[in-house]
Amino acid sequence: MALIVHKYGGTSVGSIEKIKNVAKKVAKVREEGHDVIVVVSAMSGETNKLVGMAHEMAERPDEREYDALISTGEQITSTLLAIALNSMGIPAVSFQGYQIKIITDSAFTKARIQRIDAERMMKEIKAGKIITVSGFQGVDEEGNITTLGRGGSDTTAVAIAAALKADECIIYTDVDGVYTTDPNICPNARKLDKITYEEMLEMASLGAKVLQIRSVEFAQKYNVPLRVKSTFVENEGTLVTKEEEKVEAPLVSGVAYDKNEAKITLQGVPDKPGIATKIFTPLAEANINVDMIVQNVSAEGHTDLTFTVPKSDFKKALDIVKNTAKDIEARNVIADENIAKVSVVGVGMRSHSGVAAKMFDLLSKEGINIMMISTSEIKVSCVIDSKYTELAVRVLHDGFGLGK
């Protein structure tokens, strides 16, 4: 008898019939004698509908209200699933974020979970109930509804698994595991049986949409065994696990890409100490994640500084940077939304050199210009013109021998 957390994404609960199907899957695990907590996303299309309404109402919706609005999508799914289970004779109870005290900070639209009240859930588990939980949402200390950002339901699932010391956390989704790259771009992409937390983190942070990055961080931190499986196809999916459990480490495990960033360049910045702080502090205060940063060599006391931000924060970031530019007397601000980041990821890189050089070579042979570069121990990323994304991904996937 184990305690298992299931998480079902939007496409897995996209209709009444699909929710009934999830109820049957949960019932089966129940019959095998296990306790189950089911975290659900909004029905596919529902969140987009709510976001659309918010933006019809205001160009920049108040963020507190925005969160309270879009959190209703998950509430609908968690209660419908509990209705389905109860009607099958399986006692079930739904919980919203505030009811099980999923306490977050107050960074609306991208809040972070700080703690969860395990006791309330354990009480229901001990009473023999299945628990359904609205993913993606929490409350801050003041009782305001917060959301965790797109894909936040994965984080809810892993955080609950960690808080309740669950035996496994299974993320059910519309794909049957983690692939070497996006199969829509490379038809010969291969499903991985295992991947390390670290690799998954790099893949997730680069827009491989299978798992949300913070859920993997949580899983790594609390060592939660995490499995990505298909709701619709029966197979073992991909296990996300610690490095030592992996038998052999290939040079490169996967190729990822991300079209969700935009590039901002400050031109003619006076090259004085403290300038970077002046530029990035206001962005941090506005809760905007700056990803890659490149600074040109200084010429005549001035330099250019380029960085990327999420597209969703692009307008807000640009406004802030334009204000900063006046303060620090930078010459100009230019911006580009048509960029993409392509990356190769693999723990095997640690013991092999030459991955970056090979990557640059593969891209240059196709005439793809590299605008920015960043590297980590297990990853090399290049920012390119977004129109070359698919070409770049295929070239790298084949070039590093990842195909079937």
Q: Which residue has the tokens 């692939």?
A: 179
Number of helical (H) and strand (E) elements in the chain, helices listed first: 12, 20
CB of 134 to a second copy, least distance (A): 9
Q: Which residue has the tokens 């109860």?
A: 86
From 82-90, 215-223, 244-252, 390-398, span contacting a second copy (CB under 8 A): 82-90
**C-alpha–C-alpha distance, residues 99 and 121, integer Å:** 10
CB of 310 to a second copy, least distance (A): 21
Tell the burial category of 163 from Cβ atoms under 10 Å away from its Cβ (0-12, 13-18, 19+): buried
Question: Which residue lies nearer to a second copy by CB, 108 or 197?
Answer: 108
Kindly state the DSSP code that residue 2 receives in the 8-state scheme: -
Site for a second copy (CB under 8 A): how many residues?
A: 38
Q: Does 86 bind a second copy (CB under 8 A)?
A: yes
Q: Which of residues 10-29 bind a second copy (CB under 8 A)?
A: 16, 19-20
Question: Which residue lies nearer to a second copy by CB, 12 or 303?
Answer: 12
Q: Which of residues 40-79 bind a second copy (CB under 8 A)?
A: 50, 53-54, 56-62, 64-66, 68-69, 72, 75-76, 78-79
Q: Which of residues 90-119 bind a second copy (CB under 8 A)?
A: 92-94, 96, 98-99
Please enumerate in sequence order all residues whose Cβ is within 8 A of that of 316, keeping only pairs 6 or more positions apart, or say none. Answer: 60, 286, 288
Long-range contacts, 295-302 (Cβ 8 Å, 24+):
298/271, 301/270, 301/271, 302/268, 302/269, 302/270, 302/271, 302/331
CB of 273 to a second copy, least distance (A): 39
CB of 102 to a second copy, least distance (A): 13
Question: Which residue lies nearer to a second copy by CB, 11 or 386?
Answer: 11
Show the tokens assigned to 161: 């698994």
Please enumerate in sequence order all residues whose Cβ is within 8 A of that of 399, keeping only pairs 6 or more positions apart, or say none. Answer: 358, 359, 362
Q: Which of residues 266-325 bind a second copy (CB under 8 A)?
A: none
Q: Residue type at 73? A: G
- Under the rule (CB under 8 A), what is the footprint of a second copy? 16, 19-20, 50, 53-54, 56-62, 64-66, 68-69, 72, 75-76, 78-80, 82-84, 86-87, 92-94, 96, 98-99, 143-145
